[in-house]
Amino acid sequence: MMRQAKPAVARRPLNYQEVWGRVGIYAFLGVVALFFLLPLYVMLVTSFKSMDEIRLGLIFSLPRQFTIDAWVKAWTSACTGLECTGLRVGFGNSVKILVPSVVVSILLGAVNGYALSFWKVKGANVLFACLLLGSFIPYQVFIYPLVRVYAQTGIYGSLAGIVLTHVIFGMPVMTLLFRNYYSGLPIELFKAARIDGAGFWKIFVSIILPMSAPIAIVAVIMQVTAIWNDFLLGLVFAGRENLPMTVQLNNIVNTTTGERAYNVNMAATVLTSLVPLAVYLLSGRWFVRGIASGAVKG
Amino acid sequence: MSSVSLESLDVSYGNVQIVRNLDLNIRDGEFLVLLGPSGCGKSTLLSAIGGLTDVSGGRILFNDKDVTWTDPKDRGIGMVFQSYALYPTMSVERNLSFGLRIAGIDRAIIEKKVKWAADLLQIAHLLDRKPSALSGGQRQRVAIGRALVRDADIFLFDEPLSNLDAKLRAELRLEIKKLHKTLKSTMIYVTHDQIEALTLADRIAVMKDGIIQQLDTPLNVYNKPANEFVGSFLGSPAMNKVEGALVADGDHLSFAAGDFRLDVSRYPFTQKVESGRKVVLGLRPEHILPASGSAAAIEGKVSLVEPMGSSILAWSVFDGLSLSHLVGQDDGCEADRTFAVTIDVQKASFFDVETGWRL
C-alpha cells in the first residue's frame, strides 16, 4: 500500500481578528513614540537654523539654510554668566567629576555587597536596612547638613567635595545592586576559597570581582546616567571652578539679557544630553536589565 | 594523617540547635560516612569540622590538638562540595593551584603537584579548560583534585555525587574508594544515599535531628539496626515494620499481630523480655525466603509483584498481614497465586514500641 502524501501546510492560517489587534497595537506604539520624539525633532531642526529663520515661528519646518554656527557657538563661545567660553569647560568639568565618582562608587558598592552577602558581619541586616532607608530619603534633605560638614572639613566647593557627595548618594543603590547579584552566587564558592586559604580581599579580587562583569556594566550605566544628569549637587558642592555641564547649560539657557538664541540653546541642550543618550543607545539591553534587577529582587 | 575527635559538640543557627552534644571519634585513616535524611545536621557537622561554621559548644580535636577556633586553611583539610564550587573564571589548572599560589609555594612544586593530582584523577588533558566546558563528572574530579593538591590530612566530602547521574555516580564512587586506598587519609563523607554509605564506609554514623543514632560498620548498621529509624532508613526495598506483642506459646515465645504468629525463640534478644510486651517487628524483604518444603513454611497470597531486574519484590498477605519479600526470577511467584515462605527470625529486628530502640 502506498503511503498517502501529507497535505502540505505552508504556514499557520491567518486569524484576521488577531491581525487587526496587532495593527492596533503597533499603531498605538507608533503614535506614542512620535509623541515622545517630537521635542527631540524640534530641538534638532531648530539648532540647525539661523535666528532669522527661527523668528518666522515655523518650529516644525526643516531648516531652509542648514548651518552649524549654533553648535559651534554653544561649544566654544556661548556665555555662561560673565565668561563666554561655551560648554566645553563644563564638559571637561563633568568628565572630571564623572570618572572618579563612577569608579569609586561602584568599587565601594561591590565591596559592600560582597561583605554583606558572603561574610556574616555582625549586624549586617541592620546595616543593610539603614542603607536601604538611605536610598528612599530624598537627597535634598541632606544638602544643608552636608554643606556644613564640608565647610568644617574644608572640602566645600572642591572637586573632592562633589566626588565624595556622588559616592555617598550612589552607595545605597550600588550596594543593593551588588548584594542582590552576589546573593545569587553559590556560597560554596566562597567556602572553597576559604579552605584554599584566601582572605577577605583575595577572595574578592581573585574570585568575586572577575565574576562581576555583567552587574558592573549595569552599575556603570546607572551611575554615568545619574551623575552626568545631576544638576543640584553640582550646583551646590562643585564650586565655581568645577561647575558641571548641566549647571553651565542652565546658565546659557537662562541668560535674560537681549534676544534668546534658541538655536544655541537647543544645540547646547543636545550636546549636554549626548553622553547619557549614547550610553543608553549603546547599551539598551543592559540598561533595562539594571532597572529590572534593582526592582524585582529584594 | 589525622584522627578527629568531637567532644560534646553543639552547633546552632540562631535559636535552632542543629547538632546536640555530639561525641565522635574518627580514627586515623578511617573512612567515616555521615548518613541521614536532609535536615538531620550532617552537613552542618561537616561544615563545623571544616571550620566554616562556628560551634556553640564543645571541642574539635585533630590529632589531640584543639582546632575548635583554627582557621579553615590551617586545619589541613580538603573539602569537596555537592555543587563542585569550581572558580568559574579560572582554568582547571588555576583552580587546582589556587590554594598553593596563595600559600606562596614554589612554582616548580606547584606544577609537580598539579600534575600528580591531574594524572591520578585522569584530568591531565583538561587542564587548560574552563569549568563551564567540563561535564559534571569532570567537574567533580577537578574539585577532588583541588583537595588533593593541598596535601590534606583530612578530606571532607559534602554529598559530592548527588548532582551526578546514576552511572557516573557509581563510577566516581569506586574512584573515591580507590583514592582512599591509595592515600590512606582520613575521610569524612556526608550523604543521604545509603548505597554510597554502605559501599564506601569503614564505619557509618546514622544521624537524625542532630544526634547520632548508630555508629558502626556498614554490615552491623544494616543487619542490627540500633533503632526503628536506622532500620527503616537503610535498605532498599524498605524493611517491613509490624506492630504487635510478644506472647508465650507453650514453652516458647511468639510474636503476634492479629492472626499472624511467628516463633521468635531463636531471636537473640539483647535484654530480658517478658510475654505481653508490645514490640515492633522489623523484617527485611530478603529475610523472608521462598520455602523449599520446610515445615515452618507460611502460606500467603501474592497481591502484587514488582520486577527489579535481578530479583522480584512481591507483596503478599500472610494471615492478614501484608509483607514485601524478595523472590528469584524462577521461583514462580505471580500475582493472585499462593506462595510459601519461611522467615529467618535470627536476622529480624525487634524494637520497643515506645522508645523505638532495639531489643
**pLDDT tops 90 at residue B98:** yes
What confidence score (pLDDT) does residue A287 get?
Answer: 66
Position B359 in a domain: no
Give residue B307's domain range.
240-352
B156 and B65 share a domain? yes
Do the Cβ atoms of A227 and A101 come closer than 8 Å?
A: yes
**pLDDT tops 90 at residue B130:** yes
Percentage of chain B surpassing pLDDT 90? 68
What confidence score (pLDDT) does residue B189 get?
Answer: 96
Average of per-residue pLDDT across B194-207: 94
Position B340 in a domain: yes
B179 and B282 share a domain? no
Chain B partners within 8 Å of A184 (Cβ): none
Cα separation, B147 vs B75, in Å, equals 13
CB proximity list for A45: less than 8 A, separation 6 or greater: A59, A60, A61, A62, A63
Question: How far is CA B17 from each of CA A36, A47, A125, A203, B39, rounded to the nearest angstrom?
Answer: 60, 72, 21, 30, 12
The three-state secondary structure class of B100 is: helix
Cα separation, A252 vs A84, in Å, equals 9
Among the ranges given (A49-53, A102-106, B292-296, B304-308), the one the predictor scored with the smallest mean pLDDT:
B292-296
B35 and B130 share a domain? yes
Mark out chain B residues that contact chain A at CB-CB < 8 A: 47, 50, 52, 72-73, 77-79, 81-89, 98-99, 102-103, 143, 146, 150
Average of per-residue pLDDT across A269-275: 91
Position B88 in a domain: yes
Among the ranges given (B145-154, B293-302, B341-350), the one the predictor scored with the smallest mean pLDDT:
B293-302
Cα separation, B87 vs B82, in Å, equals 14
Burial class (CB in 10 A: 0-12, 13-18, 19+), A147: middle
Backbone phi, psi, residue A113, to 5°: -60, -40
* DSSP-assigned states of every residue in A35-82: HHHHHHHHHHHHHTS-HHHHHT--TTSPPSS---HHHHHHHHT--BTT
Do the Cβ atoms of B344 and B303 come closer than 8 Å?
A: no
CB proximity list for B150: less than 8 A, separation 6 or greater: A195, A196, B78, B99, B100
B50 to chain A: nearest residue by CA? Answer: A195
Cα separation, B266 vs B284, in Å, equals 17
Domain count, chain B: 2
Residue B350, all three cell numbers: 525487634
Out of A189, A202, A206, whose CB is closest to B85? A189
Chain B partners within 8 Å of A210 (Cβ): 89
| Residue where a domain stops, chosen among B233, B268, B294 | B233
Do the Cβ atoms of B208 and B231 come closer than 8 Å?
A: no
Out of B52, B85, B146, whose CB is closest to A186? B85
CB proximity list for B57: less than 8 A, separation 6 or greater: B8, B9, B10, B21
Distance, first Cα to last Cα, chain A = 65
pLDDT confidence bin for A160, thresholds 50/70/90 = very high
What confidence score (pLDDT) does residue A295 get?
Answer: 42
Do the Cβ atoms of A247 and A233 come closer than 8 Å?
A: no
B50 and B184 share a domain? yes
What confidence score (pLDDT) does residue A277 get?
Answer: 85
Backbone torsion region of residue B156, taken as left when φ is above 0, otherwise alpha when ψ lies between -120 and 50, otherwise beta? beta
A174 touches chain B (CB under 8 A): no
B162 and B268 share a domain? no
B147 versus A297: the higher-pLDDT residue is B147
DSSP A83: B
B212 and B248 share a domain? no
* DSSP-assigned states of every residue in B260-312: EEEE-TTS--SS---TT-EEEEEE-GGGEEEP-S-TT-EEEEEEEEEE-SSSE
Chain B partners within 8 Å of A197 (Cβ): 73, 99, 102-103
Do the Cβ atoms of A249 and A215 come closer than 8 Å?
A: no
Question: How far is CA A227 from each of CA A99, A223, A234, A276, B30, rounded to the nearest angstrom?
Answer: 10, 6, 9, 10, 61
* DSSP-assigned states of every residue in B344-356: -GGG-EEEETTT-
Average pLDDT over chain B reads: 91
How far is A181 from chain B, CA to nearest CA, in Å? Answer: 16
A206 touches chain B (CB under 8 A): yes
CB proximity list for B145: less than 8 A, separation 6 or greater: B96, B117, B118, B120, B121, B123
What confidence score (pLDDT) does residue A98 get?
Answer: 95
Residue A152, all three cell numbers: 568644617
Do A196 and B81 make contact, defined as CB atoms within 8 angstroms?
no
What confidence score (pLDDT) does residue A33 get?
Answer: 94
Cα separation, A244 vs A226, in Å, equals 13
Of residues A211, A261, A290, the one with CA closest to residue A47:
A261
**pLDDT tops 60 at residue A177:** yes
pLDDT confidence bin for A82, thresholds 50/70/90 = confident
Position B208 in a domain: yes
Position B218 in a domain: yes
**pLDDT tops 70 at residue B332:** yes
* DSSP-assigned states of every residue in B167-197: HHHHHHHHHHHHHHHHH--EEEEEES-HHHH
B34 and B111 share a domain? yes
A207 touches chain B (CB under 8 A): yes
B87 and B186 share a domain? yes
B244 and B180 share a domain? no
Backbone phi, psi, residue A52, to 5°: -55, -45
DSSP B4: E
B155 and B252 share a domain? no
What's the pLDDT tens digit per position in A214-242?
889 889 988 999 999 999 999 999 888 88
Residue B324, all three cell numbers: 514485601
What confidence score (pLDDT) does residue B295 get?
Answer: 67
Position B159 in a domain: yes
How far is A196 from chain B, CA to nearest CA, in Å? Answer: 4
Position B335 in a domain: yes
B196: CATH: 3.40.50.300
Out of B78, B89, B102, whose CB is closest to A198? B102
What's the pLDDT tens digit per position in B2-15?
899 999 999 998 88
**pLDDT tops 50 at residue A297:** no
pLDDT confidence bin for B299, thresholds 50/70/90 = confident
Position B358 in a domain: no
The three-state secondary structure class of B5 is: strand
B323: CATH: 2.40.50.140
Backbone phi, psi, residue A2, to 5°: -80, 140
What confidence score (pLDDT) does residue A35 get?
Answer: 94
pLDDT confidence bin for A296, thresholds 50/70/90 = very low
pLDDT confidence bin for A137, thresholds 50/70/90 = confident
Q: Which domains does chain A have, with CATH numbers?
A: 17-67 (no CATH), 88-295 (1.10.3720.10)
B185 and B266 share a domain? no
DSSP A211: G
| Residue where a domain stops, chosen among B233, B251, B281 | B233
B152 and B209 share a domain? yes
Task: State the ipTM, two decimals.
Answer: 0.84
| Residue where a domain stops, chosen among B233, B262, B294 | B233
For B101, other C-beta atoms within 10 Å of its C-beta total 17
Q: Tell me the count of A-B CB pairs closer than 8 A.
A: 60
